Structure 1
Amino acid sequence: MGRNKVPEVTVYFWIIKVLCTTVGETAADLLNEKAGLGLSGVSALMGALLAVVLVVQFRTTAYRAGVYWPAVALISIVGTLISDNLTDTMGVPLETSTTVFAIALAIVFMVWYRRERTLSIHSIDTIGREACYWLAVLFTFALGTAAGDLVSERIDLGYWVSAVLFALAIAAVGLAHFQLGLDAVWSFWIAYVLTRPLGASVGDYLSQPTGHGGVGLGAVVTSALFLTVILGLVVYLAVTRRDVTEQARSARRAA
């Protein structure tokens, strides 16, 4: 087995994850509406870019912030587009797509556990585990998109209130883990799913017009702002290696 291929779960991890999620929402809208590519064209372009980045990611021998986080940003866009294509192009009800993505994610977890006897992200050090990991990440984004859209359409709380609601749900998961003993692996993946609608709500709140309940920054400004912050944090982590797992450090010292 090699070095762990994913970062340590620190505050930096969650900040960049939410920012990538926000970019996934705003960038998908931007490319679809402003670039005139349509959902199919945007999906093909982003899918191709994601495939290239994942090939590079799989070929690395250890976690590299400059490769890992672009893969997360692109997979957030692709996951959003998969859900949007089902809803907007194929007319699949959100209840159906949410259920399908939940089942797909459960199947990935089941196959992953049966093959590896663990779902821990602290041991993504084989091709099989990494393949399961990225499939799980993809379906968490698709599930989070569909479930978030379903909640927002059914309850219609508005972007800001929705963001607070999902943030409180994540806080509840954290409380259940640290105070009530909820399993760390399941705590992580539940929070991972919930960060998708949280980031989407924040992105919509900042980008949508004031008349629609947003701040009115627009998709271009919002995407550029968050991409700048992501880039700054990724460069910082690449230099300081603050999010390299202890397993990876030990493997590097032993090499």
Structure 2
Amino acid sequence: MAYELSGTPEVEPGTSASARPSRRPHWNKVPEVTACFWIIKVLCTTVGETAADLLDEKAGLGLTGVSVLMSALLAVVLVVRFRTQAYRAGVYWLAVALSSVVGTLISDNLTDDMGVPLGTTTAVFAVLLVVVFVVWYRRERTLSLHSIDTPSREAYYWLAVLFAFALGTAGGDLVSERVDLGYWLSAVQCALAIAAVAIAHFALDLDAVWSFWIACILTRPLGASIGDYLSQPTGDGGLGFGTVVTSGVFLAVILGLVVYLAVTRKDVADPARVARQAA
């Protein structure tokens, strides 16, 4: 039996009707991947870095306490996500922002509190992400972003998002530790890597699914470098705006863009086209 990476399974001749894939409405619960998507995504990763630092500094709960609190908030938002029947911009991007914070905190807990080397955490998160993709594909026979329309597919999607953030945090910190470029040059390096993925996708036909997830991983160190460059003291190579100002400004921009998308619905997939792409 043959399968497409980003499609639905082919049906062998003679398969009974009960064994055939059901034809359900394709109410995709993730947004269209547009330029606005990537802008908000990078902004969310920046907030994930600065907000994690801010909470650790100001909340007085310690890294572990903040991690538990933010993980609980993420769990609540994801419950709301699973109970909705279609994509909702506000809930989706709140879940992304919280996933970014939690992914950062998980990585920081392992390296800062438990003393796990960055090379080890990077390898572990990479393996976990691969395991998610393998199980997702074996169970669903698709990794398509145009068919996140069942609870199981949505669960795999959010696990992948969380591990992608954690991997991006650990991997980005590892590269920064090995190659001390400074915040600004690190951001440029990550931006060039994302540009290379885009060129590979559009010019060299790199699969859309893998292009998306590779870019998602790379947006994490990009956003972190931007956040650190803006928030860290000038003596450490930053601009000295602080975590409060940086987090507040970026959250305001994210809110404005999400409200715009919620009103215009420009990132809502057309169900008919989604059905064709998932077929």
Q: Distance in 2 between matches of 1:248 and 1:66?
A: 23
Pick closer, same or farther for the CA change 1:152–1:248 going to 2, 3 Å.
farther
Structure with greater Cα Rg:
2
| Contact preservation (8 Å) 2:52, 2:105 | yes
Aligned twin of 2:194: 170
Partner of 2:261: helix, strand, or coil?
A: helix
In structure 1, what residue type is equivalent to 2:47? V
Q: Distance in 1 between matches of 2:185 and 2:72?
A: 35
Q: TM-score, normalised by structure 1?
A: 0.96
Structure 1, 5-14 or 35-44: larger mean CA deviation: 35-44
Find the partner of 2:86 among 49, 62, 76.
62
Structure 1, 18-27 or 240-249: larger mean CA deviation: 240-249
Once the two structures are superposed, residues 123-177 of structure 1 have per-residue CA deviations (whole angstroms, 9 ceiling, x without a partner) of: 1000110000000000000000000000001101000000000000000000001
Matched, 1:200 2:224: yes
Find the partner of 1:79 among 94, 103, 119.
103
Deviation at 1:117, TM superposition (A): 1.1
In structure 1, what residue type is equivalent to 2:175? V
Matched, 1:245 2:257: no
Q: Distance in 2 between matches of 1:122 and 1:67?
A: 18
Aligned twin of 2:65: 41
Aligned twin of 1:145: 169
Aligned twin of 2:16: none
Q: Distance in 1 between matches of 2:61 and 2:229?
A: 24
| Contact preservation (8 Å) 2:28, 2:274 | no
In structure 1, what residue type is equivalent to 2:204? L
Regions of 4+ moved over 4 Å: 248-251
Find the partner of 1:131 among 155, 166, 187.
155
Q: Distance in 2 between matches of 1:150 and 1:161?
A: 15
Unaligned runs of 5+ in 1: none
Between Structure 1 and Structure 2, which shows a larger proportion of helix residues? 1
Aligned twin of 2:119: 95
Q: Distance in 1 between matches of 2:91 and 2:232?
A: 30
Unaligned runs of 5+ in 2: 1-23
Deviation at 1:247, TM superposition (A): 2.2
Once the two structures are superposed, residues 50-81 of structure 1 have per-residue CA deviations (whole angstroms, 9 ceiling, x without a partner) of: 01100000000000001100000001000000
Aligned twin of 1:30: 54
Q: Distance in 2 between matches of 1:183 and 1:217?
A: 40
| Contact preservation (8 Å) 1:79, 1:139 | yes
| Contact preservation (8 Å) 1:62, 1:248 | no
* Aligned residues between the structures: 251
In structure 2, what residue type is equivalent to 1:90? M
| Contact preservation (8 Å) 2:146, 2:274 | no
Q: Distance in 1 between matches of 2:194 and 2:102?
A: 23
In structure 1, what residue type is equivalent to 2:103? G
Pick closer, same or farther for the CA change 1:191–1:250 going to 2, 3 Å.
closer
Deviation at 1:36, TM superposition (A): 1.6
Aligned twin of 1:111: 135
Aligned twin of 2:5: none
Percent identical pairs in the alignment equals 79
